Amino acid sequence: MTAISQTKTQKRRLPPCRAACPADVNVQGYVALIQQGKFKESVELIRRTMPFPAICGRVCFSPCQDACTRKEIDKPVGVRYLKRLAADIEREQGRIKPDPILQTHKEKVAIIGAGPAGLSAAYELVKLGYPVTVFERMPEAGGMMRYGIPSYRLQKFVVANEIAYIKDLGVEIKTGAEFGKEIQLDSLRSEGYKAIFIAIGAQLSQKLGVPGEDLGGVFHAVEFLRDISLGKIIDVGEKVAVIGGGNSAIDAARTSLRLGAKNVRILYRRSLKEMPALPHEIEAAEEEGVKFQFLATPKQIIGKEGRVCAVECLRMELGEPDASGRRRPVPIKGSEQIFEADTVIPAIGQLPQTSFLPSVLFDEHARAISVDPLTLETNIPDVFAGGDITTGPASVIEAVGAGRRAAVSIDRYLNGEDLKARRDEEVEETTWVKDWGVITKKPERYESLHIDLGRQKVSFEEADEHLAKSKETAVLEARRCLGCGPCSECLGNEGLCDADKAVVDEALCTGCNLCAVVCPYGAVKKNEAEIAQIDESLCKGCGICSASCPERAITMRQFSEAQILANVTTALGREAG
């Protein structure tokens, strides 16, 4: 049994939200729990598959929401906000410290990099009973979640809280240990680590490759955001030009505003439609006063006395679609344009730091560690790799997915099992037909669930003061879920889906034991008097025993024979002839 196959259901087909999630989070399940106002339980359910409910509730690009069937009717269910609220409620009410998990395996596992990929792999492995050590070169764990995403989007204590949970389970995190310096593959092996997972991410900014890039006042986005997170004070001046269209560019621009810049401009070589940044982030940046210059690409950075004073740009037009499906920008000759700037922040991509990686691992062409995408195995048998180091810069949830896959592979590798078996089964999605039956009319999305930014004050405090802290609103929002999947397997037994229980009439029971024979769950035992007793913790309320009992001594609390027949009578509108 692997970590992932435990959570998969035998039922065919998944709801689209869950099928869309790279980390296989049971979306329908936790939404179903929130419908019942069970916020803590819903966080528990999320933790079955990934350890970052509060983080993903803030920064996830929420493919689940994009896949939501509800959008066919009005708007998708606000899944990310629900997750965030549930996680916040749990944190505010005080999370119960989990007991460390018993170590049932001897083989030590080393994980290099305490970002989302490394931490989620550690989380899965520690749950399987392995001793796990995570090595991190920075002073704090969290990777890009700690040093990449600015604090107004994701407060540091939120990250710290979720990492504390992983530590509580028994994962050891060693900070200040850099791969290639303090630790090497060989040194880890000699310390007795039987498997190594490399998840060091993509920590270098891609260079623009134009003249003037080494002038004073040019900060590359990754390093810029990391320095701010480390508490460095950077004077960005009044005018800032950010180059790029991804989330890092938006982060750099909004951070610059918070550092006192008056005039922040994002230069992007394509148009708004092609921007890879999250739509609500773009919206927020616009509202805060960030200006956008589309179809512009830098030709050179102009300096005066060794410091930036302007960026010279070329105007672009969009040509044919390229490999990414977006239209390729083509420069227009003679369209040079000059933007004044005190600071220039290129944010056009990230690259992994690779100088210390064994060359056998690294694919120079792809600029990544080459791995089998399914099993994440590398060219070296005991070394696995995942996250941004193999894919290029991606998202938290994709890194979590990679961490989970790596954990399964490492578990199998250490047990000498086939890494590939039963893993590439295709996930089938449910279908849902609009004109079938009656959909109870439910209100459109609760508007207060939309990002209600504290935009009036631009600060490093978390801006996203959403939800108006209303549990009631969240419950109503969760009820908009259509429940596309059959059973969400939310594991919230009581009262969620009419969990019924069998009841024995002891006066009628003759102790024939047939109920125990037919019960699929072994929930029936006999007492000393040979009378059947139902163990309610095992009874799932199917009613098979009730329909089998030769003495008709077993009845169901909800779906009793009388109740079923009463339903029949109501339907037929008349009593028995």
Give CA separation, 76 vs 177, 292, 481, 553, in Å: 43, 28, 8, 47
- Measure the CA dihedral 388/390/391/396, to 10°: -30
Compute φ and ψ for 239, nearest 5 degrees.
-115, 125
Q: Show contacts with other proteins in window 417-436 (CB under 8 A).
A: 430-433, 436
Taking the C-alpha atoms of residue 4 and residue 416, their distance in angstroms, rounded to an integer, is 18
Please state the closest distance from residue 36 (CB atom) to other proteins, in A.
17
Which tokens in the block code for residue 405?
């896959």
On the 0-12 / 13-18 / 19+ scale of CB atoms within 10 A, 489 is middle
- Residue 438 binds to other proteins (criterion: CB under 8 A): yes
Per-residue x/- mask for other proteins, residues 463 to 492, rule CB under 8 A?
Answer: -------------------xxxxxx-----
Supply the minimum distance, in Å, between the C-beta of residue 223 and other proteins: 49
Neighbours of 172 (CB within 10 A): 14
Dihedral pair phi/psi, residue 518, rounded to 5° = -85, -20
Nearest to 107 by CA among 227, 195, 2, 9: 195
CB 363 within 8 A of CB 369: yes
Q: Does 164 bind other proteins (CB under 8 A)?
A: no
Per CB under 8 A, contacts with other proteins among 545-564 are 546-552, 556, 559, 561, 563-564
Q: Tell me: does residue 537 bind other proteins (CB under 8 A).
A: no
Q: Pick between residue 215 and residue 512 the one whose CB is nearest to other proteins.
A: 512
Q: Which of 189, 412, 540, 557 forms a contact with other proteins (CB under 8 A)?
A: 540
To the nearest whole angstrom, how small is the minimum distance from the Cβ of residue 423 to other proteins? 21
| Binding-site size, other proteins (CB under 8 A) | 57
- In this chain, which stretch among 10-18, 111-119, 296-304, 347-355 interacts with other proteins, using CB under 8 A? 10-18
Residue closer to other proteins, measured from CB, 364 or 575: 575
Q: Answer yes or no: are the C-beta atoms of 15 and 27 closer than 8 Å.
A: yes
Minimum gap (Å) between residue 81 Cβ and other proteins: 23
For residue 493, count other CB atoms closer than 10 A to its CB.
12
Of 460 and 521, which has the nearer Cβ to other proteins?
Answer: 521
- Is the CB of 11 or the CB of 291 nearer to other proteins? 11
- Name residue, tokens 């037929």: 572
> Looking at beta carbons only, is 327 or 501 nearer to other proteins?
501
Q: Are 309 and 341 in contact (CB under 8 A)?
A: yes
Name which of 96 and 571 has its Cβ closer to other proteins: 571
Q: Which residues sit at the interface with other proteins, rule CB under 8 A?
A: 10-13, 430-433, 436-440, 482-487, 497-498, 500, 512, 514, 517-518, 520-521, 540-544, 546-552, 556, 559, 561, 563-572, 574-577
